[in-house]
Amino acid sequence: MKKILVGIFIILFMFQTSTFAHSTLTKSSPADGQIAGNNLNELILEFDTPIENTSTITLISETGEQIPVEVSVDNNTIVGKINAQLKEGTYQVSWDIVGEDGHPINGTYLFMVDASETTQSPSDQLESDSRGSFNWMGVVLGVIVVLIILTLFTKKR
Cβ neighbours around 136 below 10 Å, total: 8
Report the alpha-carbon distance of residue 60 to residue 21 in Å, rounded: 29
Give yes or no: residues 16 and 41 share one domain.
no
CATH of the domain at 51: 2.60.40.1220
Give yes or no: residues 31 and 61 share one domain.
yes
Give yes or no: residues 57 and 99 share one domain.
yes
Number of domains in the chain: 2
Give yes or no: residues 152 and 126 share one domain.
no
| pLDDT for res 132 | 42
| pLDDT for res 73 | 95
Give yes or no: residues 60 and 101 share one domain.
yes
In order, the DSSP letters of 74-130 are: ETTEEEEEE-SPPPSEEEEEEEEEEBTTS-EEEEEEEEEE-TTSPPPPHHHHHHHH-
User: To 10 degrees, the CA torsion angle through 136, 141, 143, 144?
Assistant: 150
Burial label for 67, CB within 10 Å (0-12, 13-18, 19+), is middle
| pLDDT for res 23 | 83
Report the alpha-carbon distance of residue 16 to residue 151 in Å, rounded: 21
pLDDT tens per residue across all 157 residues of the chain: 667 766 666 666 665 544 456 788 999 999 999 999 888 999 999 999 999 999 999 999 999 999 999 999 999 999 999 998 999 999 999 999 998 878 899 999 999 999 886 655 444 444 444 444 455 566 666 777 777 777 777 776 5
Give yes or no: residues 112 and 150 share one domain.
no
Q: What is the pLDDT of residues 6-26, one digit of tens each?
A: 666 666 666 554 445 678 899
pTM for the model: 0.64
Q: Provide the residue range defining the domain that includes 100.
A: 23-134
Give yes or no: residues 15 and 30 share one domain.
no
Angle at the Cα of 70 from the Cα atoms of 79 and 67, rounded to 5 degrees: 105
Give yes or no: residues 16 and 39 share one domain.
no
| pLDDT for res 1 | 64
